[in-house]
Structure 1
Amino acid sequence: MTQEQIQIIKDCIPILQKNGEELTKEFYKIMFNDYPEVKSMFNMEKQISGEQPKTLAMAILIAAKNIDDLEKMRSFVDKVAITHVKLGVKEEHYPIVGTCLLKAIKSLLNPDEATLKAWEVAYNKIAKFYIDIEKTL
């Protein structure tokens, strides 16, 4: 990531603090509509209660805050990675998440091209971090 892209992501932190759950609810709506085959990997009770969107919103916020040094969020990612492995999340699922997250960002935040590109690059960096950890489990 470039320093400019890192700064763009960090500049989004206040938006994520305020509207993170709205973003993740839109994300799940898009993903379950566009990729219904992944729905069985999710606990629908946690969707209904809002627990899962809240958890994902927190994960995105933590990642944005630490985008310049993802190792700072290692303990959080370790816990999520264990859950992912138990649920059968595979490397090929990450592009689905990335596509849907970018659609949600575009839909709700109407970002300029530089911001959308920064999020695309950031997501790929974060996904690789998760995948690399999950491969060790």
Structure 2
Amino acid sequence: MLSAQHRDIVKATVPLLETGGEALTRHFYGIMLAEYPEVRPLFNQAHQASGAQPRALANGILQYARHIDRLDTLGPLVGQIVQKHVSLQVLPEQYPIVGSCLLRAIREVLGPDIATDAVIEAWAAAYQQLADLLIGAEEDVYAAAAATPGGWRGARRFEVVRKVPES
């Protein structure tokens, strides 16, 4: 449960995220992709190399921290994230991987003087709140897709039965 004290601590880290968010997310991806190679296919490696993916995540984390008291203002950003996650078939069981790597990156990048136990606890609670929000929204999209005529859930094999040249 995210307490008022947790929210205050997360908001207090906003200046650090403004100046060092990309360094944090680059370190995060380094940890996660090295220790959990099974998630590598979920990430566009060209975007990793160019820095676009770490930049996008840094911006998302910053926006979340800035608006942690008013999550409703994050609707468009959350919608984009949910659609991307659903298109990649991100699963609820993958969220703990991200959470543990993010907390480790916070601790390692900010160091023990800034990333105190209280800061890590606050970010752990904040991450869990965000993960729960995304998992719930993604489940709604997965369920709606499965409920449509001809819809399905998860990966599905298709067979090409005919090719028709049209030009």
**TM-score, length of structure 1 as denominator length:** 0.97
Match of 2:19 in 1: 18
Q: Which runs of 5+ in 2 are unaligned?
A: 142-167
AA matched with 2:49: I
For 1:98 and 1:20, the matched residues in 2 are separated by: 16
Q: 1:135 maps to which residue?
A: 139
Shift of 1:43: 0.3
The whole-number CA distance in structure 2 between the counterparts of 1:85 and 1:52 is 17
Partner of 2:122: 118
CA distance in 2, matches of 1:127, 1:77: 11
Unaligned 5+ segments in structure 1 are none
- Tell me by how many angstroms 1:69 deviates: 2.5
The answer for the alignment partner of 2:79 in structure 1 is: 78
* 1:51 is aligned to 2:56: no
Give the number of equivalent residue pairs.
Answer: 137
| Aligned residues of 1:21 and 1:54 also touching (Cα < 8 A) | yes
CA distance in 2 between partners of 1:135 and 1:116 (Å): 28
Deviation at 1:25, TM superposition (A): 0.2
Cα shift readout 1:26-83 (whole Å, capped 9, x = no counterpart): 0000001110110011100000000000000000001101112322201111011101
SS, match of residue 137 in structure 2: helix
Question: Any conservation in 2 of the 1:31–1:100 contact (CA below 8 Å)?
Answer: yes
Runs of 4+ in 1 over 6 A off after TM superposition: none
Letter in 1 for 2:136: D
- The equivalent of 1:89 in structure 2 is 90
Is contact 1:98–1:120 with CA below 8 Å preserved after alignment? yes
Q: Map Cα deviations across residues 108-132 of structure 1 (whole Å, 9 max, x no partner).
A: 1121110110000000001111111
Does the residue aligned with 2:68 lie in a helix, a strand or coil?
coil
Please give the alpha-carbon distance, in whole angstroms, between the structure 1 residues aligned to 2:133 and 2:18. 22
Q: Going by fraction, where is helix more abundant, 1 or 2?
A: 1
CA contact (8 A) 1:23 1:105 kept: yes
Which residue of 1 is the match for residue 145 of structure 2? none
- Matched with 2:7 is 6
Q: TM-score, normalised by structure 2?
A: 0.80
